[in-house]
Structure 1
């Protein structure tokens, strides 16, 4: 009986240089090099790593009004975010290419047309440096809804690699059963779950997804302390007095297709988690449970997923009298 192929993967638990695009890109380069030096072929960074997950900030929102200081803070956040295409994308692709890895990283994406909408986005780069796919968070949670727009089904993305299909969801999207089912139906082998949730209950979610999806799961979070916030941010909005020193304690973890912990969870520090994934385990795990295969009941349950892009407007034009009216996309994303 032949040995199953294996692949080493790495999860980076670190903090960005908060609200600083260029400084964070330098950190991405350094941490990717460290992860690649372990032999990893896939490297995952957390949700909203560039330029920051703005934990503890309210951006001046009160029901019925907004503050000038909050608007200035959001402008700073906006200006340090990422446009596609753009120089930051080229830099990230260069980092992936320099180390020959598949690289997935959470960014705050600025709409290129209006420059007034931000999306919480996960990017996927190949070892040749190309941007292969992106996923925009479908449903920002709680106060995230005040600063981020909603993605649509056109970015429910997966990427084929020599070691299986990768894809996933961001943070509490992983609590959306139908979104998970859509990813399982796409045949995800290595499920990426970047997050900002450092609660103990998140660990149960990661293990459940591995067991339910019969896939490997890479959970990835930041380690952030209060003193990492730059003065220019705190001039616009002070953190609440009760804010603890450790604002995100991490909890990054790697899970097997049986829901078993392979590495981590990592708490209370920055670091790189690695694991050698036995790809044959995917087949063995699906012997008795394949959620969208032999264990599905499409005769009873059906899931319809709309993957069409939903622009804010569609413009119609008529070339000449008598010509058919042709729809034009409002913009290219």
Structure 2
């Protein structure tokens, strides 16, 4: 196992609602960060986090322009094993790095969209995914919620990697499910650019005694296509739609780099896995600081057979 290596967090915007152009942009950012052993991209990077858009919906009513927007959104999404998914694997292989990226995932059977993280190995292989188990607020209109079968961690030569998406990180039991798996690199792609999010990243690092990589987009309103159905929703939105805030934190809650605000860019930091062991001298959430005689967490990781 590699004990020391560099990781990178990419803070950028996709080419909104344009799948091929977004994949081109992923390739350019990966090329720029190619010295890193692992690269993390933000939530819903392929190919949009649709901030500010209503999809023509109010309670009890939908508009045709909202359905047209939904189709455009669906068409800019990807499915596990499709050509676009394979291309992401090829990008990871070319860089000889682990690539973890937020995507809008089309279920190949139902067509339902999920907010997912796709994991690719340095050999280009698709390692697996995590689907968001609870979309937040209006997100539930566009994304389905997953079962516990994709609460995933992966044993790699960099250690055990995994993570949760955006406000899943506010779910204490979801975090504990990750800690129970011995997570060492905790990945948290997000769309939250509030100052308080940085405290959440530091808290998770301290609580889980793990490295935390937080990645967000930097998006301006003029990046949205001018001819987007329902674009009138954006008139009341600020010019800067997502201001970033990406960050990397060590297992004692110290900020290694970031937060990055107000621009696209790459954050890099060196990981030293020995720091995880050292941090557990005085706290270990699943070891000596656990009380299994009092507390018990049961996680249902079986897939929902209704979806199979």
Query: Could you say which TM-score interval applies, normalised by the shorter chain?
Result: over 0.9
1:33 to 31, 34, 39: 31
Partner SS, residue 82 of structure 1: coil
- Measured after TM superposition, the shift of residue 113 of structure 1 is 1.0
> What is the RMSD computed on CA atoms of the aligned residues?
1.1
Partner SS, residue 268 of structure 2: strand
1:134 corresponds to: 129
Structure 1: unaligned runs, 5 residues or longer: 314-329
Structure-to-structure mapping, 1:57-136, within 5 angstroms: 57-115=53-111, 117-136=112-131
1:53 corresponds to: 49
1:322 corresponds to: none
- Measured after TM superposition, the shift of residue 77 of structure 1 is 0.3
Q: Distance in 2 between matches of 1:19 and 1:226?
A: 13
2:240 corresponds to: 246
User: Moved runs in structure 1, 4+ residues, more than 4 A?
Assistant: none
Q: Distance in 2 between matches of 1:33 and 1:160?
A: 25
Structure 2: unaligned runs, 5 residues or longer: none
Q: Distance in 1 between matches of 2:293 and 2:191?
A: 38
Q: Distance in 2 between matches of 1:232 and 1:182?
A: 43
- The answer to whether the 8 Å contact 1:105/1:122 transfers is yes
Q: Distance in 2 between matches of 1:272 and 1:114?
A: 36
TM (norm. structure 2) is 0.98
Q: Cα deviations across residues 144-164 of structure 1 (Å, max 9, x unaligned)? A: 001100011100011112121
2:167 corresponds to: 172
Q: Cα deviations across residues 70-115 of structure 1 (Å, max 9, x unaligned)? A: 0110011011110111001110000000010000000000111122
- The answer to whether the 8 Å contact 2:221/2:234 transfers is no
Partner SS, residue 154 of structure 1: helix
Q: Cα deviations across residues 233-284 of structure 1 (Å, max 9, x unaligned)? A: 1x43313433111110000000010011000000000000000112110000
- The answer to whether the 8 Å contact 1:69/1:237 transfers is no
Q: Distance in 1 between matches of 2:296 and 2:281?
A: 23
1:158 to 153, 156, 159: 153
Q: Distance in 1 between matches of 2:260 and 2:161?
A: 22
Structure-to-structure mapping, 1:1-333, within 5 angstroms: 5-36=3-34, 39-115=35-111, 117-233=112-228, 235-312=229-306, 330=308
